[in-house]
Chains A and B, each alone.
Chain A
Amino acid sequence: QSVLTQPPSVSAAPGQRVTISCSGISSNIGNNFVSWYRHLPGTAPKLLIYDNDKRPSGIPGRFSGSKSGTSATLGLTGLQTGDEADYYCGTWDSSLNAYVFGTGTTLTVL
């Protein structure tokens, strides 16, 4: 059972900007770094953002991350049809002593 809440779906037109929110509490997002992943079911998930706002090498600048209090946001600009996928936030939960993922958001590029 996910303890991080994301919107089930978001959509936008090609070339537009979209944001995906991730809401938690003090024991997870409030006191730990947040990561973001992209996943097409049946394939390997891909790390997009780590430590709230850092991009691994190879991830384009169209992807951005931010955190404020107990919430985090993934931003994606210049949307392409290839961006359609499921997106998950994730962080450590210091109370559970476990890593937790968000509920996941399906991005549709109209």
Chain B
Amino acid sequence: QVHLVESGGGVVQPGTSLRVSCITSGIVFRHYAIHWVRQAPGKGLEWVAFIWHDGSKTYYADSVKGRFAISRDNSKNTLDLQMDSLKVEDTAIYYCATDRGSGWSQEHWGQGTLVTVSS
């Protein structure tokens, strides 16, 4: 059974930083590319970032480019999303999801971690 668990969410002030993480089980972590997707209150799903299985390539939504950084350590089976210069509009539930390896679809998802940016 594949499980993904996000952690690190919390309440922070605008302009500050936060790091959220994703831990997986039931898969060979280094074989899977990973996405981050978020949902703001009352809004739809918004794709945030993507990292190749070996970390060699990353992609970002324009809304977070230059502020967020996705990274992974395959020796430790860890995946992080470093979020800097946070804005109120970054408030959302952040989900990590495995890439299916075809068509960029997200197959297995975690339950999400809530990030609230508020003064």
Which residues of chain B in 83-119 are interfacial with respect to chain A, using CB atoms and an 8 Å cutoff? 93, 95, 97, 100, 102-107, 109-112
Residues of B within 8 A of A91 (CB): 103-104
Determine the interface band of chain A, counting residues with CB < 8 A from chain B.
20 to 34
Are B44 and A86 interface neighbours, CB within 8 A? Answer: yes
Cβ-closest 10 pairs across A and B: A33-B103, A35-B105, A104-B44, A44-B109, A50-B105, A99-B47, A92-B104, A101-B45, A51-B103, A47-B107
16 A–B contacts from the bound complex (CB under 8 Å): A37-B45, A39-B39, A45-B37, A47-B100, A47-B107, A47-B109, A50-B100, A50-B103, A50-B107, A51-B105, A52-B103, A88-B45, A98-B47, A101-B46, A101-B47, A103-B44
B interface residues, Cβ below 8 angstroms from A: 35, 37, 39, 44-47, 50, 59-62, 93, 95, 97, 100, 102-107, 109-112
